[in-house]
Amino acid sequence: MRKTLLAACLAVPLLGLSLSAAAADATGRWKTIDSDTGKPKSIVEITRAANGTLSGRIIELLNPSKPNPVCDKCKDDRKNKPITGMEIIRGMKADGANEWSGGTILKPDEGKVYKSKMELIDGGKKLEVSGCIAFICKSQTWIRQ
């Protein structure tokens, strides 16, 4: 009986740690919100590579301006590739408990690649994503799906 009680007492704090670790994880699906219009733009799925870096792909475009758009303004390996399925976040590394940096984010409608950082906010329900060129930065808040 004592061993069972002791095991239960030890398991409860560990359960709390695993739940908070899950909340502090940016992997999953996120609804992107256009910072200019405030309207939902796409669904991005963020995954973790074997080396621990995060990447993200557009898995769905919400109300695209034309059917099956491609990244005609891209200048890298994504040029003229379909935007749906495209990797837009690359190489994000953990930079603290709820923060990632050191990677890049692509804005497909402009074809521009920005240095990026991300931070979980609102208990892991939202992800603040920013892209910067030099000292000029723009942020969006994405919502966990």
d(C-alpha 134, C-alpha 115), whole Å: 9
Evaluate if pTM is beyond 0.85. no
What domain count does the chain have? 1
What pLDDT digit, counting tens, does each position of 1-47 carry?
Answer: 444 433 444 444 443 433 334 446 999 999 999 888 899 999 999 99
* CATH code: domain of residue 104: 2.40.128.520
The parent domain of residue 40 ranges over: 25-144
pLDDT at residue number 35:
81
Is residue 123 domain-resident?
yes
6-15, 60-69, 126-135: range with lowest mean pLDDT: 6-15
pLDDT at position 75: 96
